[in-house]
Amino acid sequence: METSTIPLTKIDHCRYEIPSSFNSGMRVPGRIYANEKLLTDILKDRAVEQVVNVAFLPGIVGYSMAMPDMHWGYGFPIGGVAATNPEKGGVISPGGVGFDINCGVRFVRTKLKEQEVRPRLRELVRTLFQSVPSGMGAKGGLRLQNRELKQVLSRGSRWAVEHDYGVEADLEATEDYGCIAGANPEAVSERAYDRGKSQLGTLGSGNHFLEIQIIDKIFDESSAKQLNLFEGEVCVMIHCGSRGLGHQVCTDYCKVFLSCLSKYNIHLPDKQLACAPLNSFEGQEYLSAMRSAANFAFCNRQMILHNVRLSFEKIFSVQWQELGLNQIYDVAHNIAKMEKHKINGKEAVLCIHRKGATRAFPAGHPELPLKYRSIGQPVIIPGSMGSFSYLLIGEEGSSETFYSCCHGAGRVMSRSKAQKIYQAHTLLKELEERGIIVQAESKATIVEEAPGVYKDASEVVEVVSQAGLSRKLCRMRPIGVVKG
């Protein structure tokens, strides 16, 4: 299938549709959220073909969807969203979650102003770099035995809080209170345990980061005030996931699910979409293992937050509570979750695959904690290390995407191409001239994550805003970055 042969019908200024009549195997149409400018970049890779392929999944309902930050991924496009109905033979696909299970973002405010941080910025970045291990295979200060690690997989962020690595308020400000129910650590392989036991509190490599930012623009004064967010204040963003443990869970079950295709008579155009019925033994085993890895990721970000607070205390000689390092929210963007949604006016429990996509519940949604129910769920959209990031709020319009939104800027350039174009020392100098201090474990990471390899996050955010999926709350610019 060539991308150029796929018919894209423009519905409005931010929606394009692929009719299910395009291919007899499509069970639903495809829908892409983008404007004309972003669509030009989207059509450069084969992600649109993957939107078509996902529409083949048994039990899929609504649309095979992709957010404006979409690009090619394993099986699903990154930025892909799909809902399957277990009562209609619906399946679950590890390719619809991704290898970094519950890769997500945590956003933390402070009371500090830029002028208070700027004189100590280089020292602060260095301290954060030392306190939060980064890079491929990075190991943290904890090395848990399997018995303890099983508790992490079962309890998520609550395990960290119970061991004095956080406070109760952090749990309320985390999706699912930092723990997805239904995890079964016994469904996780020994190899996954081996990879994860020393990685709590670590960033990893690739596009993961720890960033010091300044709130430079407020779009919704009322909602921002409710969350104690004010222009000119320093904040911190943490982007990472389940590390080697989650990667191994995905690897293990991708192999298992390949045999499920013939066992359950499932025919797909791409074996990377290997899946199993949600109501099957294999489907339930993967769900419980994936939830375990997701809980590990929540705990990982909680441990990183603890070390961020200690770093600020060290630099400013003040307790983190006085510095106002309070968590605003933590969201998952590589996950599959069982949620209640309406299909043709009837409520059904569906499996929502969000692969490089963020949940975006609107105000009044019953699953939101009271703290957010009056304004809606925060949606955290990181940019690149040299561009703006955004905090959005879920809107009722996102019901058409099963309450899903974009998760970032989205790549437009491969890592290998970036290595041919950019040089680390030049990038570091350019960023420092703009007031951005970067410290990374690897020069290769700096090159592969150069601002130019990503779409403009502002363009992506504008599309989801115009589509009514989320509304803009505030914009942040980076001043200090820790990379793997």
Active-site annotation, residues: 407
Count CB atoms within 10 A of the CB of residue 421: 11
DSSP state of 362: P
Mapping DSSP to helix (H, G, I), strand (E, B) and coil, where does residue 176 land? helix
Q: Whole-angstrom Cα distance, residue 260 to residue 195?
A: 26
Q: Whole-angstrom Cα distance, residue 196 to residue 139?
A: 9
Q: Whole-angstrom Cα distance, residue 226 to residue 375?
A: 9
Cα-flanking dihedrals φ and ψ of residue 392, to 5°?
A: -115, 175
Helix %, strand %, coil % of the chain (to 5): 40, 25, 35
Mapping DSSP to helix (H, G, I), strand (E, B) and coil, where does residue 335 land? strand
Query: Using only C-alpha atoms, what is the Rg of the chain?
Result: 21
* Helices of type H across 326-378: 370-373
User: Which structure tokens are listed for 372?
Assistant: 């957010």
Burial call 244-283: b when 16+ CB within 10 Å, e when fewer:
bbbbbbbebbbeebeebbeebebebbbebbbbbbbebebb
Q: Whole-angstrom Cα distance, residue 478 to residue 437?
A: 9
Count CB atoms within 10 A of the CB of residue 340: 10
Burial class (CB in 10 A: 0-12, 13-18, 19+), 344: exposed
Q: Whole-angstrom Cα distance, residue 198 to residue 122?
A: 28
Cα angle value 413/417/422 (rounded, 5°): 95
CA 137 to chain centre: 20
* Inter-CA distances, 312 with 120, 171, 276, 317, Å: 10, 21, 46, 8
Which residues of 400-454 form beta strands (DSSP E)? 404-405, 437-440
Query: Residue 329 in contact with residue 378, Cβ under 8 Å?
Result: yes
Cα angle value 293/337/152 (rounded, 5°): 25
Query: Residue 335 in contact with residue 175, Cβ under 8 Å?
Result: no
Q: Measured between alpha carbons, how far apart are the two ends of the chain, in Å?
A: 37
Cα angle value 384/326/463 (rounded, 5°): 35
User: Which structure tokens are listed for 92?
Assistant: 């679950």
